Structure 1
């Protein structure tokens, strides 16, 4: 084809996309309740709508792992689940490792269900997952030690929901029940700094974005802990926390974190869950809290497969903020956790149960041979936390720059640079600011385009404000520009 004609068609499509683009965050903020905007694409409104066989896969470090077990538990179609230790990447790339022969798995699935090949793809367990061993806290892992385990169905009859009462600052276990302290009311009002070591919601493992040592986070949290475990403990599924609470303000949130605490005190976050307390009864019809009035709440935590060695402790940490992973409440909140009735429920997989894995292991990771590329500029990555003890300004700065590289087969040059900055001042809950700036560039002989976006999100007690720009450049000349300056009511967010 005529290169000039192809270039004109590409430019027309590029400009059409620029015209249609708008900040996603604006739509999300306009729908803080579970309304039709979310329901139309959500399967859990009616699981019976799913009529085709499903192979669902994800990773424990990803943001979507809960979808796998929810599908297995609720749909009524042929189904299999696979959850590894991975971040938001394909299992044959597997970061953190181990990677597996995922392409062989999906080809076998499609051969059976699309071609009718009798290859035994539906034999064996419904769920295969990586039981993660204990590791020291780190923002990145090349490999997660552990082993594959499997369950014949989900929910699994081999997983027991074990309830541990919360008394004083203790998580009560069967062998410490007699010596457990009496229940008592405890209060927490977390500083905005709690959450700076939380990592990313959906990890990409690059730049290093997993949660770091939780000891600093726990300093601003309400902490419950077991005695050192006498025996190894393994959990598989979604823990939950039941509490009776009262709050000093009508809008409040609570974050619950479970950590694996080593004998030397290092705390590795295992899983977490967040609840906007105005959504305690319904996401469709949230209601403000009545300050000082007690209410019962349940906080579901993200599913996980995790082993706690003997001699380690299980720690539950509760905080009233988790910034910048979660936008803070409109004002600081003093939360009272009342001493009677609180409990942590753990999905315990007895260690004497067989792993249940088929004798045939996963194949070796396979994939297409990467195209030859020439690196033109070096990548850059950063994840920096800073605090000033002069003006009490705190910041989290993130840089993900893949550098510029040229694909030699077609001469296309591609580059991406993303910068994020999250700031706050002391405990001023109206001070948080989130800034995101992206630059993407595509070029080859005859054309050179660049897209730059900038979004700033701030809030006061009543509303969010979004200030955003989108600029398009051809051959270094700006040919498209759009600006948004919009305010959205908080509506109990």
Structure 2
């Protein structure tokens, strides 16, 4: 192990004169080396944040890199005021080019990051600085409208409200607010932090304590106002602008991470990149993790499910995997990673194993599982059936969705203190509710393996102009444990387009699709496949008021109970689509 030199708080100027505090970790001996950039809004001086994110800068320096760790604009030791996400392309570009020009640099630069740091990484890659030669992003967002701020047109409420609340701590001291305002905001912060779920219930969302001052948290108010996909989101959309990326990307996702959707979409965009060299160069790894796994809290767990030592090869080994990636692109080395196929994914369920493939998704057969019932599929005690047999004449299922008594979020792909634990959680209690339709298959005679996109096609009606429909794929174990596998939501007004909302005609049947995103999972023999259908998952998602007003601007008096209908007859065959891997 060589000696490492650490330089603290170098003030690096950006193009507008604002200086960002930067620490440099490098081998003590003289010489020019490739540089790795890591930009963070959570304080570069806290070892947890820079040392637990899969790649420790000390390890990078020991492997012969100069590692640059920087506080983002408006954060901790850096100057300026933070404008989340939108500032990162320019600041990332300037930091990469600064790093390339230093005496200890050989001009070859890579960038890496997870979560928000992954956004700083991808926004820099989108800006395409000339000296950026490779990037690694993990458990992060790409199109912030899909899977970060919104999903299926519904606000990711628990995460974004909590995250915006946390950003208050940085904003208060930098805006020149008078002392009484600062004291009030900090008091509201403490009070709201003690009951985050209650904060999510506040209406209108724009007037929630701590968040109501636009001058303090303008981005929160922007989110609420831009509930459609528009130019506000296009500016930072890495997926839509993937053709502008000039550096190869390794990106790493988790099946139970709230931000999985961004990686899935980025993967498809990179697989179709117009430059053949980049199209073939990118790598994609998907493991059995939720958002906490990568921080090293519970290395083999997602919620209540332990995926065993196999999962460790994906978590503990990723620091080395990331360095193998940079060794290839920045040091011209022939590394084991680059000899593998482009995709490595974890098959959850029976085998819990890593599988290598040339593309994601792998070849599969989209297979329809139709909804059946005698009109009483309410709760798991109802008569809902999931079968490959097409339905004939059957009565529809109905339920009432009351936004003042929403279905609670229980596990799945969520990341917020308000929503509780993510990952695999038992759905038995949720399935006792009358406003949850439950459709179950017979116990499987043999294992069923799926890998790819899961979606639900529903024929629905509602007595209002807008509402939500949720879908949840569940693995029912012989002992009765009901494990969530995948989940999703569709806000009805966005069923045809996220850019142009289209309201329902009350009482008229229409078709919509709920994207449950992708998964690789094996349902064991003796287990049953289950689909839950409802209209809320709170506080992960904002509650739909069931009217014309945007749920993000609804007042308490706007909330109304909706009468929901799900059809499953010969003319309106609602069904679940599973990407079945043919075992024959």
TM normalised by structure 1 equals: 0.61
How far apart, CA to CA, are the structure 2 residues paired with 1:66 and 1:277?
19
CA distance in structure 2 between the partners assigned to 1:335 and 1:155 by the alignment: 34
Q: How does 1:38-437 map to 2 (within 5 A)?
A: 38-75=233-270, 76=273, 77=279, 78-89=281-292, 91=294, 93=296, 94=299, 96=301, 97-98=311-312, 99-133=315-349, 146-157=352-363, 159-168=364-373, 169-173=384-388, 177=389, 182-191=393-402, 192-198=405-411, 201-202=414-415, 208-210=421-423, 212-218=425-431, 219=433, 220-330=435-545, 331-339=560-568, 340-351=572-583
Q: Specify whether residues 266 and 348 from structure 1 end up closer, same or farther in structure 2 by C-alpha distance, changes over 3 A only.
A: same
Is this contact kept in 2: 1:187–1:334, CA < 8 A?
Answer: yes
- For residues 193 and 279 of structure 1, the distance between their equivalents in structure 2, rounded to whole angstroms, comes to 20
Q: Which has the higher helix share?
A: 2
Question: By how many angstroms is 1:119 displaced?
Answer: 2.5
Instruction: Kindly indicate whether the alpha-carbon contact (under 8 Å) linking 1:222 and 1:318 is maintained by their aligned counterparts in 2.
Output: yes
Offset of residue 74 of structure 1 = 2.4
Aligned to 1:22: 217
Gaps of at least 5 residues in structure 1 are: 135-144, 353-493
State the shift of 1:286 in Å. 0.7
Q: What is the CA RMSD across the aligned residues, in angstroms?
A: 3.1
Asked if 2 retains the 8 angstrom alpha-carbon contact of 1:263 and 1:312, the reply is yes
Q: Distance in 1 between matches of 2:540 and 2:295?
A: 28
Offset of residue 259 of structure 1: 0.5
How much has 1:212 moved relative to structure 2? 3.0
* Offset, 1:50: 2.6
Q: Deviations over 1:53-95 (max 9, x none)?
A: 1111011121122333322222222211111112225748335
> Structure 1's 172 and 209: CA in aligned 2 closer, same or farther, altered over 3 A?
closer
**Using a 3 Å threshold, how does the CA distance of structure 1 residues 201 and 234 change in structure 2: closer, same or farther?**
same
Change (3 A) 1:315 1:82: same
2:179 paired residue number: none
2:412/2:484 contact within 8 Å kept: no
Compute the displacement of 1:247 (Å). Answer: 0.8
- Structure 1 range deviating more: 29-38 or 193-202: 193-202
Aligned to 1:488: none
The range that moved more, 19-28 or 318-327, is 19-28
203 and 237 in structure 1: CA distance in 2 versus 1, 3 angstrom threshold: farther
User: Does the 8 Å CA contact 1:87/1:205 hold for their aligned counterparts?
Assistant: no
Question: For the Cα contact (< 8 Å) 1:95–1:205, is it kept in 2?
Answer: no
Distance (whole Å) between structure 2 residues aligned to residue 43 and residue 217 of structure 1: 36
SS of the equivalent of 2:337 reads coil
CA contact (8 A) 1:190 1:221 kept: no
Distance 2:496 2:228 in 1: 12
Count of residues paired in the alignment: 332
List alignment gaps of at least 5 residues for structure 2.
1-6, 10-20, 22-75, 81-169, 176-214, 274-278, 302-310, 374-383, 546-559
* 1:446-461 superposed matches below 5 A: none
TM-score, reference length from structure 2: 0.52
Q: CA offset at residue 148 of structure 1?
A: 1.1
The superposition leaves residues 398-457 of structure 1 with CA deviations (integer Å, 9 ceiling, x where unpaired) of: xxxxxxxxxxxxxxxxxxxxxxxxxxxxxxxxxxxxxxxxxxxxxxxxxxxxxxxxxxxx
Q: Could you tell me how far apart the structure 1 residues matched to 2:418 and 2:254 are?
A: 12
Higher normalized strand content (fraction of residues): 1
